[in-house]
Amino acid sequence: MKLAMQVNYAGDILETVEQVVTYEQAGLDIVFVAEAYGFDAVSILGYLAARTTRVELGPGILPIYSRTPALIAQTAAGLDYVSGGRAVLGLGASGPQVIEGWHGVAYDRPIARTRELIEICRKVWRRERLEADGIYQIPFPGGTGLGKALKLITQPVRPRLPIYVAAIGPANVALAAELAEGWLPIFYLPEQAEAVWGEAVKKGLARRDGSLANFDVVAGGMLAIGDDVQQLLELARPHIALYVGGMGARTKNFYNDLFHRYGYGDLAEQIQELYLGGEREKAAACIPLDLLERLNLVGDSGFVEDRVRAHAGAGVGTLMVSPVGNDPLGSFRRLREIVDRL
């Protein structure tokens, strides 16, 4: 099992980069850099490529609407070059709130766009000419007629880069299992993963090309190991409340829908009602402790080991963690020992 961390889109990025360098020395395998409406992920990834030597690097995620497919492919190939072949590409549809509200782009056909984007990226990395005529319309109607089918000028380090797709809806999860090297779910409950996503994953794997690597599931949560760390679970409340209650409109919130599918429908509606009504602290407070425990790896060594086993049993190949508390690096090192022992 690999260990991953995500660099958030808020906070002191330069300080976080220094932390990544330290965690790399402690056994970190992959770093994903988030991108929402703060700093872009690509600039930070380039800096990380210069400051690290071994860890894999990738956006987690680049929204599929904010850049053309060709530019995304170029960017990933460039990161792979400057990092010495350590790039991975995290892709996702994001949601209408960010895509339409921030980027000013229509949020349409996310499944078809993701499929075509993956196909175009792999063509670019193989240095094939772009002659597709799909959603992204290359060539496109209404153009000057002067466009020319082109291929990447420079030789990529690798003809195929690992692609990870962020997805929680059944159709998108099936697409990830069919086409991508890995899947980035959110709020992953390993005990309920089969019931919620099992059918979609099986559907996608049945159509998967045999040339693709094994399908990697990347999931986890906050990390703190110790006998007196349970209070740190309180740190997860605002994050869950934001996504379940406020990330999207009342009628279009993918994360709220996920909690319904987990069997927490009443709770999801309560969180949303409070959050959108301006009572954010009350929204966070109503999240039950047992749910916080199952969504994170916070507790003594035995508890965390049990959670690692639960994730592994649900097919997680890369454990994504956010170390917190007074000794986050110590907790990470203990987790590395637990993972290596299993």
What are the extents of the domains in the chain?
A: 2-224+298-341
Task: Compute the distance between CA of residue 238 and CA of residue 175 in angstroms, rounded to an integer.
Answer: 30
Report CA dihedral (30, 31, 33, 34) to the nearest 10 degrees.
70
Distances (CA, A) of 26 to 33, 179, 192: 19, 32, 31
| Residue 139's pLDDT band (cuts 50, 70, 90) | low
For the cut 90, the answer to whether the pLDDT of residue 135 exceeds it is no
The region of weakest confidence among 108-112, 137-141, 171-175, 337-341 is 137-141
- CA dist 128 and 66 (Å) reads 23
pTM beyond 0.85: the answer is yes
What pLDDT shows up at residue 20?
A: 97
* DSSP reduced 3-state for 300: coil
Position 63 pLDDT exceeds 90: yes
Measured CA to CA, the distance from residue 312 to residue 1 in angstroms comes to 8
Whether residue 103 has pLDDT greater than 80: yes
Cβ atoms of 108 and 182 closer than 8 Å: no
Residue 41 has pLDDT above 80, yes or no: yes
Rounded CA-CA distance 215/208 in Å is 9
CB 82 within 8 A of CB 57: no
Residue 138: pLDDT over 90: no
The pLDDT of residue 145 is 74
Give, as one character, the DSSP assignment of residue 278.
T
At the second CATH level, the architecture of 2-224+298-341 is Alpha-Beta Barrel (3.20)
Confidence of residue 133 (pLDDT cuts 50, 70, 90): low
Q: Residue 137 has what pLDDT?
A: 63
Give the model confidence (pLDDT) of 155-214 as tens digits: 999 999 999 999 999 999 999 999 999 999 999 999 999 999 999 999 999 999 999 989
Taking the C-alpha atoms of residue 130 and residue 121, their distance in angstroms, rounded to an integer, is 10
Mean pLDDT of the chain: 95
Helix (H) or strand (E) holding 298: strand 297-299
